[in-house]
Structure 1
Amino acid sequence: MYIKQQLFQKRETDEEDWSVFFYNPSLAATVLFSILYVIPFIYHIYISYSAQKKTSNKYFRYSYSVPIIIAAFLEIIAYGQRAASTQSTQDIGLFASSQTLIVLAPVLVCASLYVLLGRIIRSTRVTGAGIKEETGEAEKRIEVKVGGIVRVSYLPKILITLDVAAMLTQGGGSAIASAGEWKGTLEDIGTSVLIGGLALQVATFTVFLSVVFSFHQKILRHGEEGMGMVLRGVYIGGLFIMVLLSQIRSIFRLIEFALGTESYIMTNEWPLYVLEAVPML
């Protein structure tokens, strides 16, 4: 976590009464979002349980739902810890833990989106006449390629790998800077590595966004009548919205760390909720 203890807010009444926050944090807001994240947590548990009754394929049931359920749980814990941190503003460990979970949870959300897109594409096949859902006749899968090279069947694994690499890079940058107590050369190196990890995350999601858009265009070009195709279009539309919101969040984080601790974003609380908490909800 990006922390500079020497820049912690000093209270005018007592120089020793410093805070890990660069502003006066809102307890009500943190409690509210901790409660709000319970909704997607329960909802995805419910739909996962419902799917259990409709298919015997355990991989199909849980490969998509488990990451997002864990992500929702981490968000609940993260904002719960942040609520506690607002009442204990000198507890660096509690603050860093909550911030780490807030940054980590979206990685799992992204993994769910990657798997979901892969399942939608694999469930769609196309013939010369258009898209078909039936598998009893000669068909071929819709092939969406990035740059005409990468097959869509490999995309979930590639994107998840890049996302994990971005997360590890961010953690490595933070560790390097922390080793130098966020001072001097190690601070500069660590911050650069951390920003590089955030940039990789934005680039990964940009590729994913292009794939969603490309597949959606194929759906529109080859679309047939029928409830199956209508529902698939709805799923793609919903996925597209989720991807855009996640990209907004990633760009926000990149700008936040690039500008540093004295920036407007770091010294005001509302950007965290508007550009991080709301998009991930």
Structure 2
Amino acid sequence: MATDTEDLNLYFYNPSTALAVVFSVLYFLLTLYHFHISILYARKQPIKHRYTIPLFVAALISTAGWSVRIASIKNKSSIPLYATSASYVVISPIFVCATLYLLLTRLIRSSLPEGPAQVFFHIPPRWLGRMFITSDIFSFLTQCSGSGIASSGNWEGNLKDVGTNVLLVGLALQLATFSTFLLVLGRVVRRVDRSRDIGFDPRVKKVILGVWIAGFFVQTRSIYRVVEFGLGIDGYPFRNEWCLYVLEAAPMFIAIAVLGWYSPVKLMQQKAQTEITMERTGITGRGKTVATSERGTV
């Protein structure tokens, strides 16, 4: 039996307040942890690892997105609340990708000797990171534009279709960029493993393990979003809430949590400090080159 309330419901299902509360709390805890590790702890260290700050931003935006969703569920006819929640949740993973792209350049510099060994696809690490970040920013702006266009038309009519298509382009670009990142990361790992004289520091291996795990869940989420917006509002993902939590909320929570557990701030800080100590005590070689490259900031 249709009612006026149902007619004004912006959701295609009966959304769960409990799940929105649970993920609001979980992401809030991640926000507190990454604020501690990426800002409070990192600022006291002699070697700066500022590239993890976007993880804090991602957790913060996700917390806001799921918190606003609670208010949106209580007022299902509010387009601003619905659009704000949806936009925050979609955009926040971009900041996770930013940390991974910047971390990739650090891994290349710290694990491979200077020169041709650090070049991939004829691109040096500094420009490789810049290219990924530039694509990430463009993806961010495209997704924001798409969300803005759709919401300006109250997520109805032609503006909704145009905005959704623009948002889909941004998501597809993000997926393509991240797929390329995983390809380059695989080649970095293979190049280091094939060298008998290099090999990964055990602490760096832990960081890379965290990156692979996080990368899997980020990629899973990205594929889901492209499929979701590709199928449109009549597709299965849009009309079943479990898809949002199983393929968006949970994967991104795991990704951000894993990058906190295998924190580059702590592990690579320990590695760099060890190498600086080796250099000061007169031990030279690869450690000296790495220590020098790690002193810079992002």
Give the shorter-chain TM-score range.
Answer: 0.7 to 0.9
CA distance in 2 between counterparts of 1:23 and 1:54 reads: 49
1:243 partnered with 2:215: yes
Cα distance between partner residues in 2 of 1:53 and 1:237: 26
Shift, 1:117, TM fit:
1.6
Name which of 139, 145, 149 aligns with 2:122: 149
Deviations 1:163-209 (A, max 9, x none): 1111222333344455666434x555444333222211111111111
Q: Is the 8 A contact 1:216 1:233 kept in 2?
A: no
Partner of 1:133: none
Match of 2:42 among 51, 61, 78: 51
Counterpart contact for 2:192–2:198, Cα < 8 Å:
no
User: 1:87 is matched with which residue: 53, 74, 78?
Assistant: 74
1:14 and 2:12 correspond: no
Q: Which residue of 2 aligns with 1:41?
A: 31
Letter in 1 for 2:130: K
Q: 1:88 to 1:189 in 2, by over 3 A?
A: closer
Cα displacement (A) at 1:40: 2.1
Aligned partners of 1:219 and 1:233 also within 8 Å: no
Q: 109, 127, 135: which one pairs with 1:122?
A: 109
TM-score, structure 1 normalization: 0.81
Instruction: Give distance in 2, aligned partners of 1:206 and 1:280.
Output: 16
Give the structure with the larger strand fraction: 1
**Does residue 272 of the first structure (1) align with residue 247 of the second (2)?**
no
Deviation (angstroms), 1:73? 1.0
Task: Give the letter for the 2:100 counterpart.
Answer: L
Map of 1:75 onto structure 2: 62
User: Where do 5+ consecutive residues of structure 2 fail to align?
Assistant: 254-298
Mapping 1:162-241, distance limit 5 Å:
162-177=135-150, 182-184=156-158, 188-222=161-195, 229-241=201-213
Q: Structure 1 vs Structure 2: percent identity of aligned residues?
A: 40
Q: How many residue pairs get matched?
A: 250
More helix, by proportion:
2
Partner residue in 1 for 2:13: 23
- Structure 1, unpaired ranges of 5+: 1-11, 127-138
Using the TM superposition, give the Cα deviation of residue 51 of structure 1 relative to its aligned residue in structure 2, in angstroms: 3.1
Post-superposition offset of 1:249: 0.8
Against the structure 1 CA distance between its residues 115 and 225, is the aligned structure 2 distance closer, same or farther, given a 3 Å change threshold? closer
SS class of match (1:19): coil
Structure of higher RCO (CA pairs closer than 8 Å, 6+ residues apart): 2
> 1:105 and 1:176, CA in 2 relative to 1: closer, same or farther beyond 3 A?
closer
Change over 3 Å in CA distance of 1:13–1:190 after alignment to 2: closer
TM-score, normalised with respect to structure 2: 0.76
Q: Distance in 2 between matches of 1:192 and 1:253?
A: 12
Measure, in 1, the Cα distance between the counterparts of 2:151 and 2:207: 43
> Which one-letter code corresponds to 1:51 in the other structure?
A
215-224 vs 110-119, greater mean Cα deviation: 215-224
